[in-house]
Amino acid sequence: MTRTCLLLLMLVFFLVESWELKGQSSDPVYTDKQEWALGLKAGTGLLLAHKEELKYLNTGMYHSLELNYEKRVDGSHRWHDIYNYPSYGFSAIFSYHGDREKVGNSLSLSTFLSLPLVRASGNHNINLRLAGGGVYVQNPFDPLENHRNLAISTHLNIFVQLMIEYGYRLNEDWDVSLGVKFNHFSNGSYLKPNTGINYAMVSAGLSRVFNRDQRASEIRDRYIPKTEWNVMVTGSLRSPHINSNSQFGVGSLNFHFNRRFSRKFFATVGTDLVYNAANRRDLEIRYSKRPSRSDNFQLGIFGGVGMRFGQSSIVLTKGYTAVSYSGPTAGIYHRFAFRRQFRPDFFYHIGIFSNYFKANFLDVGLGYTINVK
């Protein structure tokens, strides 16, 4: 993941924690129904060429058409009120990347969470939207036919979106919106080259709203844990070098401690034991030598911050490999992840593990909560 992505994520944590103004809104109706909406957004933007070789892809405007299904929380859990009644949903985005031969078109499917930052009145609001999912890219890197596309080397990739959006209520049934957003595509170094693609965009949308301002009659869950001890196992595949067509196994054993410091956020510290089979192959290609099997193991310590909403959380950490071989995956590393509790003591984890702002590998696994208070 690029430096730009991580800086934007740090901005997300700051905004959600410090910027929340509630104004006068319509009186809610207490019922079993839940507010939901169907929406359409059109957007246009430019490629952000964070490396010199990506300027080759910047030949035209980027355009997108997005279809959304959205539901607003009903107030049945404590975190609904803490986050000022956010919404969540699914989106499908069809995009044209400015040139049919270099990148072509793409189709992304994602889930999103929209957090109200400001509600100046019942008709105006400003929301922060976080989205993640998968994207199919029509024309990835090909050594013969598309060798200058060093951004994406696979058809299937990860899609991440960050958007700040202004919304206005036209009437009881219709909303309009204007937004500024940032889109990121990457395969997490599953196959190289993989510099990733970043787009900055503006968009406008129209939504049809059903059951507006519906609320549950009671709060069923008020508890938010103060501290947690967790253990987690993750695994993935990684390509070590642009001159290698093979994927190697990557796994990690993670121990971490979480402590809540506000209603929304918690601090986290821990350690990672990483087995990265691609390290040896990378050393062979770079230095033409036979490395030791011990070069596959790395031990790191980290700290970071997380944002909790119900049974889900978003986590951003920064660490250092205290014990490691001297290669490109040594030294400073970052992890950005989404976690979701699916049983009282178990959660799943999906994220990106990066070194010096470059994606190292996809990070997918399961975790167990040892102790919670």
Strands (E), the chain: 21-22, 29-30, 36-47, 62-72, 87-96, 105-119, 124-137, 156-169, 174-186, 197-210, 214-215, 227-238, 248-260, 265-276, 297-309, 312-323, 332-343, 346-355, 358-372
Residue pair 111/69 in contact (Cβ under 8 Å)? The answer is: no
At 24 the pLDDT is 43
Task: Give the whole-angstrom CA distance, residue 349 versus residue 347.
Answer: 7
What Rg, from alpha-carbon coordinates, does the chain have? 22
pLDDT for res 360: 83
CATH class of domain segment(s) 3-215: mainly beta
Locate the domains of the chain by residue range: 3-215, 227-372
Alpha helices in the chain (DSSP H): 3-18, 78-82, 278-287
pLDDT at 143 (0 to 100):
85
Distances (CA, A) of 307 to 33, 151, 259, 323, 362: 28, 30, 11, 29, 21
**pLDDT over 70, % of the chain:** 86
**pLDDT 10s digits, 275-304:** 988 887 777 776 666 777 788 899 999 999
pLDDT at residue 22, rounded to an integer:
52
Please report how many Cα atoms fall inside a 13 Å half-sphere around the Cα of residue 141, on the Cβ side.
24
Domain 227-372 is in which class? mainly beta
For residues 5 and 37, the model is more confident at 37
| pLDDT per residue as tens digits for the range 62-116 | 999 999 999 999 888 888 888 989 999 999 999 999 888 889 999 999 999 999 9
Distance of CA 369 to the CA centre of its chain: 23
* Residue pointed to by tokens 């642009």: 242
Residue 6 confidence (pLDDT) above 60: no
With 60 as the cut, is the pLDDT of residue 20 above it?
Answer: no
Please check whether residue 111 is in contact with residue 86, taking contact to mean a CB–CB distance below 8 angstroms: no
- Between CA 54 and CA 56 the distance in angstroms is 5
Q: What is the pLDDT of residue 1?
A: 46
Q: Of 210-219, 228-237, 333-342, which range is least confident?
A: 210-219
Asked if domains 3-215 and 227-372 share a fold, the reply is yes
**Residue whose C-alpha is closest to residue 12's, from 160, 169, 222:** 160
Q: State the DSSP string of 218-273.
A: S--B----SEEEEEEEEEEEE---TT----EEEEEEEEEEEEE-SSSEEEEEEEEE
